[in-house]
Amino acid sequence: ENIKIVTTAMQVPERVVTNDELTELMDTSDEWIYPRTGIHQRHVVTTENTSDLATSVAKKLLEQSGWGAADLDFIIVGTMSPDALSPHTAAIVQGNIEAPNAFAFDLNAACSGFVYGMSVASSFLSSGRYQKGMFIGAEVLSKLVDWKDRTVSVLFGDGAGGVLLEKTDEPAGLIAEELRSFGDRGQAILTGRFANKNAFAGEISPLDPYFHQEGRSVYSFATREVPKVMKKALEKAGLEADDVDFYLAHQANKRIVESMAKNFGQPMDKFPTNMEEYGNTSAGSTAILLDELRRSGQIKPGMKIAFVGFGGGLAIGVQIWQL
Ligand SMILES: O=C(O)C1CCN(c2ccc(-c3cc(CO)ccc3Cl)cn2)CC1
């Protein structure tokens, strides 16, 4: 079954925080942050929560496509920073845009959330059970980091991006995917841990809920394991690296994206980056990049695009699409 990405949209909070502004909060500098990460600034919420960013994306998607909210069969939100466990963020969006025929749920695959979400959404459509769907990657990571911890708070940003998908007769759709998990290495990226406090467990030491990562081991995970998964997806697609027009990699770290491009012998302009502006927005990052490239006309129908997610879990997801 063929599937079309009908349109894309993004939403980032107004408030920009530059590396220089962070030096007022903690002992850091642009000279430390930028060379290691490629990040100059990030957008941070002031009043909005994850569902607000996602709702803005949803409204733009409907406006741009001419679809009515009642046309939607489902709304999936990929997030590791939901407003709450209940109601889940996708349900809040469904209520906000008044989409009576859409069932909604969140999925959490951390920074692979966009790819895993596109996999689930496209599978719903390929099954023939549903016709029109919305997938949004949305994060407010600023609530998960300790803003006194300069090793991680400088890496992340808030933002959301999404797509509308529908079945089509056109020769467009998912060509191949490879989704992998590495649960044995999960301790390398931690956040949002909360301790059990039931009346029967006796004294439990509280867990700190903040973001912690073993930068070096995640870095080597990303540079060693991700290329293997990309090669597997290309193999399944019967494609060579040169056949793909753009590789949209999770925007965690510019050095990692550069090493991927080098690994595949591709020019950097096939591995566009925008972490300079947004930092790492986890499940939002690939969707935001896709929207910017579609709006600038760099990504067009007929192209072959690879989405490459990697991060918390640890997990990796690669999908190759024919637009
Ligand atoms: O300390 C240093 O010199 C540097 C500072 C920057 N580093 C890293 C390492 C890993 C990540 C990362 C994080 C996530 C979590 O969403 C997902 C995916 C990745 Cl690849 C981001 N930055 C390496 C060490």
> Is 189:271 a contact under the CB 8 Å cutoff?
no
Q: What is the pTM of this model?
A: 0.97
Q: In the annotation, is 274 catalytic?
A: no
Among candidate residues 40, 111, 212, 253, the one labeled active-site is 111
Question: What integer pLDDT is reported at residue 1 of this predicted model?
Answer: 60
Number of H helices, E strands in the chain: 9, 13
Q: Residue with the nearest Cα to atom 12 of ligand 1? A: 252
Question: Which residue minimizes the CA distance to atom 15 of ligand 1?
Answer: 311
Share of the chain above pLDDT 90, in %: 95
Task: Assess whether the C-beta atom of 218 lies below 6 angstroms from ligand 1.
Answer: yes
- CB 286 near ligand 1, within 6 Å: no
Instruction: Give the model confidence (pLDDT) of 37-79 as tens digits.
Output: 999 999 999 999 999 999 999 999 999 999 999 999 999 999 9
Residue nearest to atom 18 of ligand 1 (CA): 311
pLDDT above 90: residue 256 = yes
How many whole angstroms from 307 Cα to the centroid of ligand 1?
A: 19
Burial class (CB in 10 A: 0-12, 13-18, 19+), 148: exposed
Spatial contact of 126 and 171, defined as CB atoms under 8 Å apart: no
List phi, psi (to 5°) of 111. Answer: -80, -5
Quick check: 89 pLDDT over 70?
Answer: yes
Q: Which of 88, 108, 250, 253 is catalytic?
A: 250
Pocket lining: 5 vs ligand 1, CB cutoff 6 Å: no
* Kind and range of the H or E run holding 164: strand 158-168
Active site residue 111: yes
Tell me what the mean pLDDT of segment 248-254 comes to.
Answer: 98
Mean pLDDT of the chain: 97
Pick from 115, 218, 256 the residue to mutate for probing ligand 1's pocket: most ligand atoms within 8 Å of its CB. Answer: 218
Q: How confident is the model at residue 251 (pLDDT cuts 50, 70, 90)?
A: very high
Whether 282 is in the pocket of ligand 1, judged by its Cβ within 6 Å, is: yes
Per-residue pLDDT of 185-228, as tens digits, reads 999 999 999 888 888 888 778 889 999 999 999 999 999 999 99
Looking at residues 109-134, what average pLDDT do you find? 97
- Amino acid identity of 189? I
- Alpha-carbon distance of 321 to 8, in angstroms, equals 15
Task: Please say if 2 is a catalytic residue.
Answer: no
Task: Provide the pLDDT for residue 204.
Answer: 79
